């Protein structure tokens, strides 16, 4: 009987853990602790490129990895995330038909974190990364 209770409890906690909050990572920048996530309720992962150009691009993978391509087309692997609270709620500034976030990234060959702007323009259905790279997205949250 105790085995059955233990089995049920284990299954319950395993199922609960797999459906819990978004994944949050803690980073340090200028001796200050910050939190980042890759999940903000919009499809952030994808390929970003300057308007009407195919390169240079930035690729953000759902797992927080990716790469940034420089103007000379060299690629630098990165880890990335959007600033959030320690509970995983994205921190943003609301604008007229837009939201602005802080995008954090760290080149794989460095321990230093860098930040830039990430914004979503809802009416245009576009996401802007670092001010110049853009991705068109579909909003599946619209009712």
Whether the model clears a pTM of 0.85, i.e. scores above it, the answer is no
Are 136 and 125 in contact by the 8 Å Cβ rule? The answer is: yes
Whole-angstrom distance between the N-terminal and C-terminal Cα of the chain?
48
| pLDDT tens by residue, 97-128 | 999 999 999 999 999 999 999 999 999 999 99
Q: What span, in angstroms and rounded, lies between the C-alpha atoms of 82 and 2?
A: 44
| pLDDT tens by residue, 25-64 | 999 999 999 999 999 999 999 999 999 999 999 999 999 9
pLDDT recorded at residue 4: 40
104 Cβ neighbours under 8 A, 6+ residues apart: 27, 29, 34, 36, 80, 81, 82, 83, 113, 114, 115
């Amino acid at each position: 009987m105790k085995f059955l209770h233990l089995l049920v409890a284990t299954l319950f906690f395993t199922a609960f853990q797999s459906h819990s909050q978004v994944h949050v990572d803690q980073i340090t920048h200028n001796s200050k602790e910050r939190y980042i996530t890759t999940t903000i309720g919009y499809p952030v992962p994808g390929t970003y490129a300057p308007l009407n150009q195919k390169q240079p691009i930035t690729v953000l993978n759902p797992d927080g990895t990716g790469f940034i391509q420089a103007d000379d087309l060299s690629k630098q692997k990165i880890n990335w995330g959007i600033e959030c609270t320690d509970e995983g709620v994205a921190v943003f500034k609301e604008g007229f038909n837009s939201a602005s976030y802080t995008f954090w990234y760290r080149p794989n060959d460095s321990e230093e974190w860098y930040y830039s702007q990430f914004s979503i323009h809802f009416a245009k259905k576009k996401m802007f990364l670092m001010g110049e790279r853009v991705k068109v997205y579909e909003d599946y949250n619209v009712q």
